[in-house]
Structure 1
Amino acid sequence: MTQTILANARILLADEIVTGNIVIRDGLIDDIDTGTAPQSAEDMQGDLVMPGLVELHTDNLERHLQPRPRVDWPHASAIIAHDAELASVGITTVFDALRVGSIFSSNNAGYGEYARALAHEIMGLREMGALKISHRLHLRAEVCSETLIEELDKFGTEDRIGIVSLMDHTPGQRQFRDITKLRDYVMGKRGMSETQFAEHIASQQALSARVSGAHEEAAVKAARRYGAVIASHDDTTEDQVVTSREKGVSFAEFPTTVEAARACRDQGILVMMGAPNLIRGGSHSGNVAAADLAQADLLDILSSDYVPSSLLSASLMLGDLWGDLPRGIRTVTKAPAEAARLTDRGDIAIGKRADLIRVHRVGAAGAIRGTWVAGRRVG
């Protein structure tokens, strides 16, 4: 039996902060008390001890796999570096977001299949004990693609797929309903000419008209087969949210308008926004600001999206904005854990996994001074 005691901590519980000690035994939280701790305890020196952060949607692994355009990094090294980075910023559970659905017919904007092979590599490293934190899979099902059904069929219940999100990046809809924003993004990223961009728009819209309905239905069926939660992505209108509810969606990733976020609340769908949006003061795509949704009480979960360190900082910002630190921290701990049906983590309570982080406040920000996953210190 292994035991660790974290003493003299400001312990962030679900609804309050108490000063005391946390007893960890065999990877679980065994006791929370306010008494005197033994000399063998680790002194937290009055720092906050809070649940480890739960990340439902991150593109961070892609940055490690391709650190520069057309530069492919060795996958094992990339996955291990990604894992270590997340541990260093307090993320103890991650759903690695992998795109399924590819386009092979376009020379200008095509992209190939990678998810199945990469999932094998992540699972292999996990089984070897090479990863510090808990990794699960989030399949980003791109309905405007050519190979979605075939790629979905390569996954099964053994793959620990926790989330399937319904992605639709058809030009003129959702995130890219403003074609000028899409033009800046695609032409800047891929170096297209005006003619090539116009051809891309036309081909994508034609592809969507041909396959999107069947692909959405296939993705929903696959999610149910895996036992995964279904998420929508970039909902823009009330009608889209109602359709999401009919498909069994339980949380919405990055709704682009107040109208969509309010409709999510009316339909019982949780709203997730990007932490970078909150920190930067707005969306890089010109969509609704996360702060506006927070002030309207329309924000439930934060995701680090493309900046892992933003998750802790943004939750502290929310705590300050709302005047309720536990509520702010719940958006990155308890709320995402519950959204992903993880009942064993997300808050500090007896019997829960000892996924914990030690945080020292530095002004409005926070510095990670320790990370524990299932009671084992990993950072």
Structure 2
Amino acid sequence: MSESNWQSARNWQVVNGRILTAAGTIVEAELSIEGDCLGGLGAGGGPTLDAGGALVLPGIVDLHGDAFERQMMPRPGVAFAAELALLDSDRQLAANGITTAYHAVTCSWEPGLRSLDSAARLAAAVAELQPRLACDTRIHLRHEAYNLDGEGPLLDWLATGQVALVAFNDHTPAMLRHLGDPVRLARLAERTGLAADPFGRLLAAVGARRAEIAPSLARIAAAARQAGVPLASHDDPDPDIRAGFRRLGARISEFPLNRETAAAAVAAGDTVAMGAPNVVRGGSHLNLVGAAELVGAGLCTALMSDYYYPALLQAPFRLAGDGILAFARAWDLVSAGPAAAAGLADRGRIAAGLRADLVLVDERAPGLPRVVATVAGGRVVHAEGRLAIGGGFAAAA
């Protein structure tokens, strides 16, 4: 069978792979694909994809990734079209085994890269490009609390289904502390296109509206709950702040700043989602709590790419290699855990009837696992070499 015919086959199977089952065991078996869903273990019909002994794992679910911003603005003030950035980021995602991607789009009061207009353009581009994207790509709207003028558009996006997850950010108070520092203000203003003085005046005007924030967040939270959109809070500094967001319905704590806050969140049944780069680098680049420390203590239930897509593939192998967590449980942190947090019951595990999202990984080089093929919705969207050539990945009749 030719490669083009094999790629268009609706029913096919993965053979010669080591499959991580939903029960947490790794078995050598065939895995059938039926359209865009997984069939059962055991011989199926149609052509075969020879895994060449690779691990066959559930596709990665990334709840928070903002590396696409570097494709949109690789240098301060140097901007590229959202469509070009999204297509390039999509290729990076597929090459790293990510099959469901929540683009963490910051919607702030700032002009430029993180403005309301920029967020709207990106959301429109995702909707337009979706048929061309390898990954199931969704919008994770990071709403800056002081962006009061953005409330109306966000309510509209929630009502029309353009936003799949909302996170409450509150970076403005930290920025307000630099109002008297022209050097720091100039650095903060780089991505906005403003000079330091006008940026400082805008920041001061925004900060003066503090009393309006709590009612605005309550209205947004109510709209998200009504729309069935998960809510998260970002950089929770203490258990009381986390509890306040929980009362609004935010059951995901992104990047809690310390162990105490993470422990309070887990005790209340919340998802604690940390950065996979934190695991891979061996600690936080901001000298905050270590993600691996929280994982080892049972205080982290999901990992996210944050600013570096490859970290999601690497982190489970690092955790298992360091003896912090068994591999099957470590892989749950990038598949089943985030899928459950987002309410995606159709993915994150390898089981009959679920969405056919898979990543085939060669882990023979210690510390350097690599993706050799990615399957999203039953389609091979990334593969090393040509699938029609014999050897590790052969399409056969």
- Which band: TM-score by shorter chain? 0.7 to 0.9
Mapping for residues 151-162 of structure 1, pairs under 5 Å: 151-162=153-164
In the alignment, which residue of structure 2 is the partner of 1:329? 331
Instruction: Tell me, in whole angstroms, the C-alpha distance in 2 between the residues paired with 1:200 and 1:101.
Output: 12
Q: Which runs of 5+ in 1 are unaligned?
A: none
8 Å CA contact retained: 2:189, 2:195: no
Instruction: Tell me, in whole angstroms, the C-alpha distance in 2 between the residues paired with 1:197 and 1:158.
Output: 33
Q: 1:116-169 CA deviation, whole Å, 9 max, x = no partner?
A: 22211110111xx21111111211111122412122133144435221111111
Q: 1:202-239 CA deviation, whole Å, 9 max, x = no partner?
A: 656434x2332122112202312432001111111111
- The letter for the 1-side match of 2:214 is G
Q: 1:263 to 1:280 in 2, by over 3 A?
A: same
In the alignment, which residue of structure 2 is the partner of 1:89? 96
In the alignment, which residue of structure 2 is the partner of 1:121? 125
1:69 is paired with a residue whose SS is: coil
1:363 is paired with a residue whose SS is: coil
Instruction: Tell me, in whole angstroms, the C-alpha distance in 2 between the residues paired with 1:303 and 1:226.
Output: 24
In the alignment, which residue of structure 1 is the partner of 2:70? 63
> How many residues are paired up?
367
Structure 2 residue 16 is matched with structure 1 residue 8: yes
Structure 2 residue 56 is matched with structure 1 residue 52: no
1:255 is paired with a residue whose SS is: coil
In the alignment, which residue of structure 2 is the partner of 1:309? 310
1:315 is paired with a residue whose SS is: helix
8 Å CA contact retained: 1:143, 1:167: yes
Q: Work out which of the residue numbers 156, 168, 172 in structure 2 matches 1:170.
A: 172
Instruction: Tell me, in whole angstroms, the C-alpha distance in 2 between the residues paired with 1:345 and 1:157.
Output: 25
Instruction: Tell me, in whole angstroms, the C-alpha distance in 2 between the residues paired with 1:215 and 1:233.
Output: 17
- The letter for the 1-side match of 2:39 is D
Q: 1:234-284 CA deviation, whole Å, 9 max, x = no partner?
A: 111111121122111111100001111011012111100001111122222
Instruction: Tell me, in whole angstroms, the C-alpha distance in 1 between the residues paired with 2:351 and 2:377.
Output: 13
8 Å CA contact retained: 1:103, 1:147: no
Instruction: Tell me, in whole angstroms, the C-alpha distance in 2 between the residues paired with 1:200 and 1:290.
Output: 35
8 Å CA contact retained: 2:61, 2:98: yes
8 Å CA contact retained: 1:100, 1:151: no
- The letter for the 1-side match of 2:120 is R
In the alignment, which residue of structure 2 is the partner of 1:338? 340
Residue 82 of structure 1: CA displacement?
1.0
Q: Equivalent pairs: percent with the same residue?
A: 32
Aligned CA RMSD, in angstroms, stands at 3.0
8 Å CA contact retained: 1:233, 1:252: yes
Q: 1:155-199 CA deviation, whole Å, 9 max, x = no partner?
A: 144435221111111334xxx8998xx999765454699999987
Instruction: Tell me, in whole angstroms, the C-alpha distance in 1 between the residues paired with 2:252 and 2:336.
Output: 14
In the alignment, which residue of structure 2 is the partner of 1:215? 216
Residue 319 of structure 1: CA displacement?
2.7
In the alignment, which residue of structure 1 is the partner of 2:370? 367
Instruction: Tell me, in whole angstroms, the C-alpha distance in 2 between the residues paired with 1:293 and 1:177.
Output: 31
Q: Which runs of 5+ in 2 are unaligned?
A: 1-8, 383-397
8 Å CA contact retained: 1:171, 1:204: no
Q: 1:286-341 CA deviation, whole Å, 9 max, x = no partner?
A: 32111221222211100000100110101221233334111000000011111111
Give the alignment's TM-score, normalised by structure 1. Answer: 0.88
Give the alignment's TM-score, normalised by structure 2. Answer: 0.84
Instruction: Tell me, in whole angstroms, the C-alpha distance in 2 between the residues paired with 1:130 and 1:346.
Output: 22
Instruction: Tell me, in whole angstroms, the C-alpha distance in 1 between the residues paired with 2:100 and 2:260.
Output: 31
8 Å CA contact retained: 1:29, 1:354: yes
8 Å CA contact retained: 2:11, 2:32: yes
Residue 39 of structure 1: CA displacement?
10
In the alignment, which residue of structure 2 is the partner of 1:137? 139
Q: 1:13 to 1:187 in 2, by over 3 A?
A: farther
Mapping for residues 209-358 of structure 1, pairs under 5 Å: 209-320=210-321, 321-358=323-360
Q: Work out which of the residue numbers 379, 383, 387 in structure 2 matches 1:376.
A: 379
